[in-house]
Amino acid sequence: MKLKKAFAFGLLLLLFLSLQSRAQDRFSVVNDAYILKHLNTQIYPLDSEAKAVVLYEKMSIAVDIFSSYYREVKTMHRIVKILDEDALDEADVEDYYYTKGAIGSGTGKIFGTTYTLGNDGTVIKTPLDKSAIFITKYNDVVNGMKFTMPAVKVGSVIDYTYEIISPLTQKLPKWYFQDEYPALQTEYEINLPGQLGFVYITQGKTTFKQYDTRGHAEEDSSEAYYVLKKDHTSSENYGIWCRKNVTPLKFEPFSGNIHNYAERLEIQIQDPEHSYGTLDSQNIRKAWKDFTDGVWDHKMFGRQVVGDNAYLKKTVDSLTAGYKGDRDKAWSIFNYVRNNIYCNDTIALQADKDIKKTFLGHEGNAAEINLLLVAMLQKAGLNASPLILNTIGQLVSDDNYPVIDRYNNTVAIIRQPQGDPILLDASCKYNAFGKLPFYCFNSTARVIDGKGGAQINLDPHQNREKTVNVVKVVTFNDTALVANLTETMGANASRIFREKFAADSGKILSYLYNSLSERARDGGIVSGLTCENLQNPDTEVIVHYTLSKKISKGTLYFATDILRLFNENPYKPMKRTMPVELPWQTEYIYSLTAALPQNVKPEEVYKPVLLSYDDGRIRFKHFLNYDPDMHFFSVTTQYKSVETFFPSTEYEVFRAFHNNVLDEVNKIVVFKIE
Amino acid sequence: MVKPVFILFFLLSAFSVWGADNKYAYADINPSLLMNADAVVRDYKCSIEILANDKIVRKEHVVVTVLNEKGYENAVLDRLEDEFVKLDDASGYLYDASGRELKKMKQRDIVKTHIASYNVFDKDFQLSYDFHYAIYPFTVEYETTEKIASFLFVSDCSLLPGFRCAAENINCSMVYPQTMDIRYELFHISEKPVESVTDNSRTWNLSLHNINAYVRDRLAPRQVFDIPAVVFAANTVQMGPLTGNMDTWQHFGKFFYDLNIGRDVLPDDVKHAVHQLTDTCKTQDQKIGLLYDYLKANTRYVSIQLGIGGFQAFPAEYVMKNGYGDCKALSNCMMALLKEAGVTSYTALVYGGADYRNHFIQSDIPSDVFNHEILCAVDRKDTTWIECTSHDLPAGYLSHFTGNRKALLLTPGGGVVVNTPAYKIKENVAATTVMVNMDGKGGLSGTMHTSESGRFYDLDYQHLYAFTKKDRDLTVSKNISVQDLSMGSCSVALKGTSKLPSLVVDVDFTGKATFNSGGKRIFFVPVFSHVGKIETLAEAVRNTDFYIASSFDVRDTTIVNLDSNYKVEFLPKDIDIVYAFGSYSRSMVVKENVLTIIRAYKQQEGEYSAALYPDYIKFHAAIPADGLAGQVVFAKKD
């Protein structure tokens, strides 16, 4: 009996070890036949042009307790088929872990194999050697782990697993189901001690269906499912999300951040007293309050504003002396900060040092500068607070999900008893008073005031850009045409122009030449250049210059729009999957007037053109007018878009609309010179 | 009795604080040094003491007054630390405009971070410190002591931080054993150093005073150093366990050759494969081509910097087993493959990149101006250069990444300075033929055939040959200035020779010209290949010679078949301009409803006298940007 038991035990042990050595659960389909099948596959229907295909990947997060500290043990398992040389760098793997304040952090098991098909059809396996695994100290708190898979070629399958141990942070690593390459199967799993809870949020077109077990989900052939289990008796506290046959995310121009549309999952550890799983509306409000209060209480954020700042009094008093209104006081303080503090990083969420050092040293990042600004404004008795936001190109914030990594920048807000709030960013001396740079308009922002905060909407819709170009033809005879041009730039264009040229206006002329040759038709020579308001950031830049071109007797082919909003249709591709996202509402006005000599007449003048896109979301007018009695010719062009977001379903019509606009601004009037 | 003494002591101390001399007051700077300057070096001392081949101490003391925002980077302490260079001590001070000390820095305040790079692994760290102060002008003072384990890392010394930085006092000195022999070369320095001998050592000492700021000149002829610098070469250099001589390029090359001896052993299965592939080859070129393909099929580029400062290649055996290596390892491996096949080759050190103008072999004094390694196969009559890190280039073609410059061949006899292949006007050619049919409503349909070699091949290969159709269409469409462009078929083929490959692109497209309503006229800009934007030159006058960086030859022929109801109403004037540095011509001829446009644009690389600069400006102004001034007008026949 003993022998039998021993034999049985040994058998069980062998079976257990065999299962362990695979390092996968029974729901993955990875085995040798699987590898061979994929070695022999060169095209995948999911994306026939893919340079690589993720065959299987899984991130597992297990939270455990080690010497009284919570640790996050992250295990990453990935299997990738390489189809093109451009994807060979999938074999170079990098991750990092925090070391400061952590016990037992570092790397765990790291292993992998490259599979390649030999000439005889056999599978060649090359294991990852330890000598190809490198640990590097990045700085005092972060170490990096890097390794590179051996013997990788086009056609290879790489299979690797690694383990990283870090101290637990509230926010677990986010997971993108959808990324650069198509994925056949991609999973995320968490295991927590029973005393912890979590909230999660998914994003993307696909809805995940909940099942009670994975087995049921697999039986259902579900391609997007999740299983959550919290059992106090067995201390099970885990969740798994699985997604299959995921198409890749492809970059398209005029997209804010394509990852805003990517299928992804984010999880945050929560006090288990909160609802398990997703937050209900009551808990969302509480969660946001906790969030803003937490940010306010941070020593490198809110504490900076309310800390000991008696040193500011003298400066604030001198800046506000003589000003009665709050707005004027605010301007004086804002003007001082933007002109006197050098910004070493125009986008920053939190201070790296005390704002007193920023004040005394006249140097800081955007958060330090704007927190200093708030402290000074509060000293002057204004209702100012920091405002955190995410800039264009970052993931947008989610109203149901308060997480700090959705925010990457700090500006300032003054809330008034009446009227709109005043938004301020003093991180650049060319930022206008009351106007944030365009890149701040991405989604919602949060006021951080230690009283629960508030949400402010900052989407691109609120940003407006108006450009006015006026052309006056002052000489028009049989040898020359001379026109005086005045370009009044929009707020954003003015800011960008000042950043380029305010410190070195000598370069403006060559800039105009180089850009005018794109914008202005038929060449010409620029002279008499002057710029207004170059040093005054609270106004628009106005550029005046004269354009001269030679003409000859006979026929003059006159481009009606010497300056155009665009020279070619910006929406070139025929098709699009992402929406078009623009950073602002656009208004463009162009006016040309010409008093014609008696011997100059237009051969024909076109009828006025009015184009409207989707009930006036975009309007375009193009009026050409000739008064034969006065010998006066004029052109008026106006393009106005009150929309900044255009779904991809409209793209064909949207593109065609802009083709029509381009046809109009490309029009040429023929003048006969007698 | 104690009290009065105490009070007196207090008063004396206070007096010493109030009455202290403020060093480095801004007001003390000679006003002539402020011209074109964003910072002024008040004092710079660099002393290098060579105690042994692997024990060198470098002490630097720098005081910089920063005048404005643009000069801020001069206020930041920045040092590199790696296997051979360690920071032993550092201190710093911050002064305001009057020279009053505001803050101190200690070595423990320095921030040490790993340098993020494409390397999978290296041992390089950045040590930095920033006082975070920006009330201009202000002054920073840093004093550092570094322990350096190889002369290679002290061999060149820039005496100014960079452009737009003037200097009041500079001193550079070197103390070395009498047994050592050191040569030197000065750049932009007219003063002479003072050399002296003591019992056991020699001293080299150079002092400079009142140096005006240098301003970057993008059109200046190329130089290794654009600002005052000195380069040293020693007859004895140690690197790790190896000692060698680096006083000439020959010895410099020998040192690096010896560093990698014995690393060309191949595994037996690879040797077998080499013989299978090449034993029946009739020419060396065939062997090289087959083995290059073998290398590309079995390896890829991965940068792992290990082993004696990253100068030593991974053995060939390692590369073939693991399937990767950096430029040194891949070049060494390819050399081993060729050796097995009976082909002689040598690795070569070179600077790779477009900015090689500041990193090339200029003088007899060797210095480490290299960042890359390639391979050169030789036979009696010819050489074949190979870029072993690329999967795109054929054997024999280097591209502009490493073409047109000097390299240092590493041979058993030592280093040999050689020229890499030159890609000049005959090689950098883009020839386009376009056939267009235009209908009576301005609609266009046409075909475009382009052949590109040299720099045009380099620019377009990835986007046209390697990427997807969508990428190809986008790349090609950028060159076609036609409204409402729709791309049809697009085929790309590789032609030419292995030493000068070319891309041949055939495209068909549709689009439209501007068509006035009423149908009277069609306005057409016949541009089908861009020569690149012709930028207006910033300066109108020049007193020094200028340099044109590239040569090319671009030719277009466009044939437009007009609808029979239309005739040519207006043709722009022909252009024909010729200068020493380039020429541009454009002619348009109409014959029986066929319009033929021929364009030719050539530029010749080289250094040109300042006297020719006005012509250069005229040349730039005359070439129509994007061809917009070349608009053709067709009118409906009556």
Write the secondary structure of B220-236 as one string of H (helix), E (strand) and C (coil). Answer: CCCCCCCCCEEEEEECC
Q: How many other C-beta atoms lie within 10 A of the C-beta of residue B277?
A: 18
Q: How big is chain B, counted in residues?
A: 638
- Contact at 8 Å (CB) between A592 and A635? yes
pLDDT of residue B615: 92
pLDDT of residue B441: 81
B523 closest CB neighbour out of A138, A362, A557: A557
- Contact at 8 Å (CB) between A333 and A380? yes
- Contact at 8 Å (CB) between B74 and B66? yes
Is the CATH number 3.30.70.20 carried by domain B429-636?
no
Q: Which of A290-299, B95-104, B519-528, B544-553 has the lowest mean pLDDT?
A: B519-528
Chain B residue whose CA is closest to A559: B523
Q: What is the ipTM of this complex?
A: 0.85
Residues within 8 A of A (CB atoms), B 478-507 only: 481, 483-486
Residues within 8 A of B (CB atoms), A 516-575 only: 517-518, 521-523, 555, 557, 568-569, 572-574
pLDDT of residue A228: 92
Work out the widest C-alpha separation in chain A, in whole angstroms.
Answer: 122
* Mean pLDDT, range A570-582, rounded to an integer: 89
CA gap A450, A465 in Å, rounded: 34
Instruction: Sort out which chain B residues have CB atoms less than 8 A from A114's CB and list them.
Output: 323
How distant is the alpha carbon of residue A484 from its chain centre? 40
Query: Does A510 sit within 8 Å of B538, measured CB to CB?
Result: yes
Residue of higher predicted confidence among A648 and B224: A648
Q: How many other C-beta atoms lie within 10 A of the C-beta of residue B179?
A: 10
Chain A residue whose CA is closest to B294: A153
CA gap B219, B609 in Å, rounded: 12
Query: Does B300 sit within 8 Å of A152, measured CB to CB?
Result: yes
User: Is the CB of residue A49 less than 8 Å away from at least one CB of chain B?
Assistant: yes
pLDDT of residue A203: 85
Asked if pLDDT for residue B11 goes beyond 90, the answer is no
* Mean pLDDT, range B150-172, rounded to an integer: 92
CA gap B439, B441 in Å, rounded: 6
Asked if pLDDT for residue B526 goes beyond 80, the answer is no
CA gap A177, A185 in Å, rounded: 9
Q: How confident is the model at residue B172 (pLDDT cuts 50, 70, 90)?
A: very high
Please state the φ and ψ torsions of residue B456, each to the nearest 5 degrees: -70, -35
Q: Which of A407-411, B13-17, B567-571 has the lowest mean pLDDT?
A: B13-17
pLDDT of residue A275: 39
Mind telling me how many Å the CA of B584 is from chain A's nearest CA? 17
Asked if pLDDT for residue A640 goes beyond 70, the answer is yes
Chain A residue whose CA is closest to B470: A573
Q: How confident is the model at residue A148 (pLDDT cuts 50, 70, 90)?
A: very high
pLDDT of residue A274: 45
CA gap B50, B57 in Å, rounded: 7
* Mean pLDDT, range B459-471, rounded to an integer: 76
| Sequence letter at residue A10 | G
Q: Work out the percent of chain A whose per-residue pLDDT is above 70.
A: 90
**Fold type of domain B26-234:** Immunoglobulin-like (2.60.40)
DSSP 8-class letter at A513: H
Asked if pLDDT for residue B572 goes beyond 90, the answer is no
Q: Work out the percent of chain B whose per-residue pLDDT is above 90.
A: 59
Query: Does A362 sit within 8 Å of B133, measured CB to CB?
Result: yes
Instruction: Sort out which chain A residues have CB atoms less than 8 A from B474's CB and list them.
Output: 572-573
Within A200-274, residue ranges assigned H as helices are 214-219
SS3 state at A279 = coil
Q: Which of B393-397, B557-561, B627-631 has the lowest mean pLDDT?
A: B627-631
DSSP 8-class letter at B454: T
Residue of higher predicted confidence among A437 and B628: A437
Mean of the per-residue pLDDT values of chain A = 87
CA gap B195, A268 in Å, rounded: 69
Query: Does B536 sit within 8 Å of A514, measured CB to CB?
Result: yes
Chain B residue whose CA is closest to A88: B300
A153 closest CB neighbour out of B69, B297, B537: B297
CA gap B432, A534 in Å, rounded: 45
For the segment B33-66, what is each residue's pLDDT rounded down to a tens digit? 999 999 999 999 999 999 998 999 999 999 999 9
* Mean pLDDT, range B485-500, rounded to an integer: 89
Mind telling me how many Å the CA of B135 is from chain A's nearest CA? 6
Q: How confident is the model at residue A39 (pLDDT cuts 50, 70, 90)?
A: very high
Residue of higher predicted confidence among A173 and A426: A426
Query: What is the CATH class of B248-419?
Result: alpha beta
- Contact at 8 Å (CB) between A567 and A518? yes
Mind telling me how many Å the CA of B232 is from chain A's nearest CA? 34
For chain B, the structural domain boundaries read 26-234, 248-419, 429-636
Chain A / chain B CB contacts < 8 angstroms: 136
Q: How confident is the model at residue A12 (pLDDT cuts 50, 70, 90)?
A: very low
Residues within 8 A of B (CB atoms), A 394-453 only: none
Instruction: Sort out which chain A residues have CB atoms less than 8 A from B628's CB and list them.
Output: 517, 521-523
B521 strand-pairing partners: B635
Residues within 8 A of A (CB atoms), B 152-211 only: none
SS3 state at B401 = coil
Q: How confident is the model at residue B4 (pLDDT cuts 50, 70, 90)?
A: very low
User: In sequence order, which residues have a C-beta less than 8 Å from that of residue A457 and are 6 or more positions away?
Assistant: A444, A445
pLDDT of residue A369: 98
* Mean pLDDT, range A500-517, rounded to an integer: 75
Strands of A264-270's sheet, edge to edge?
A175-176, A264-270, A197-203
Instruction: Sort out which chain A residues have CB atoms less than 8 A from B323's CB and list them.
Output: 114, 126, 150-153
Asked if pLDDT for residue A89 goes beyond 70, the answer is yes
Query: Does B135 sit within 8 Å of A518, measured CB to CB?
Result: no
pLDDT of residue A16: 40
Mean of the per-residue pLDDT values of chain B = 87
DSSP 8-class letter at A284: H
User: Is the CB of residue B298 less than 8 Å away from at least one CB of chain A?
Assistant: yes
Q: Which of A570-584, B83-97, B189-203 has the lowest mean pLDDT?
A: A570-584
Instruction: Sort out which chain B residues have CB atoms less than 8 A from A112's CB and list them.
Output: none
Query: Does A126 sit within 8 Å of B323, measured CB to CB?
Result: yes
Helices and strands per DSSP (H, E), number in chain A = 12, 35
Chain A residue whose CA is closest to B486: A574
Q: Give the DSSP H or E segment for B526.
A: none
Asked if pLDDT for residue B17 goes beyond 60, the answer is no
Asked if pLDDT for residue A19 goes beyond 60, the answer is no
* Mean pLDDT, range B617-627, rounded to an integer: 71
Q: Give the DSSP H or E segment for B274.
A: helix B268-278
Instruction: Sort out which chain A residues have CB atoms less than 8 A from B535's CB and list them.
Output: 510, 514
User: Is the CB of residue A342 less than 8 Å away from at least one CB of chain B?
Assistant: yes
DSSP 8-class letter at A376: H
Closest by Cα among B349, B354, B308 to B331: B349
Burial class (CB in 10 A: 0-12, 13-18, 19+), B574: exposed
Substitution target from A572, A659, A673 for chain B, most B beta carbons within 10 A: A572
Instruction: Sort out which chain B residues have CB atoms less than 8 A from A606's CB and list them.
Output: 517
Closest by Cα among B161, B210, B159, B154 to B182: B154
Q: How confident is the model at residue B535 (pLDDT cuts 50, 70, 90)?
A: low
Q: How confident is the model at residue A11 (pLDDT cuts 50, 70, 90)?
A: very low
- Contact at 8 Å (CB) between A327 and B98? no
The DSSP-derived string for A404-424 is GGG--EEEEEE--SSSPPEEE
Burial class (CB in 10 A: 0-12, 13-18, 19+), A664: buried
Instruction: Sort out which chain B residues have CB atoms less than 8 A from A569's CB and list them.
Output: 483-484
A132 closest CB neighbour out of B132, B322, B523: B322
Q: How confident is the model at residue B358 (pLDDT cuts 50, 70, 90)?
A: low
Residues within 8 A of B (CB atoms), A 64-93 only: 85-86, 88, 91-92
Instruction: Sort out which chain B residues have CB atoms less than 8 A from A43's CB and list them.
Output: none
Strands of B77-81's sheet, edge to edge?
B77-81, B125-129, B111-114
Q: How confident is the model at residue A240 (pLDDT cuts 50, 70, 90)?
A: very high
- Contact at 8 Å (CB) between A441 and A285? no
- Contact at 8 Å (CB) between A392 and A438? yes
Q: How confident is the model at residue A126 (pLDDT cuts 50, 70, 90)?
A: very high
Mind telling me how many Å the CA of B133 is from chain A's nearest CA? 4
For the segment B291-328, what is each residue's pLDDT rounded down to a tens digit? 999 999 999 998 877 655 568 899 999 999 999 999 99
B553 strand-pairing partners: B429, B602
Asked if pLDDT for residue B334 goes beyond 90, the answer is yes
Burial class (CB in 10 A: 0-12, 13-18, 19+), A650: middle
Q: Which of A194-198, A497-501, A657-661, B396-400 has the lowest mean pLDDT?
A: A194-198
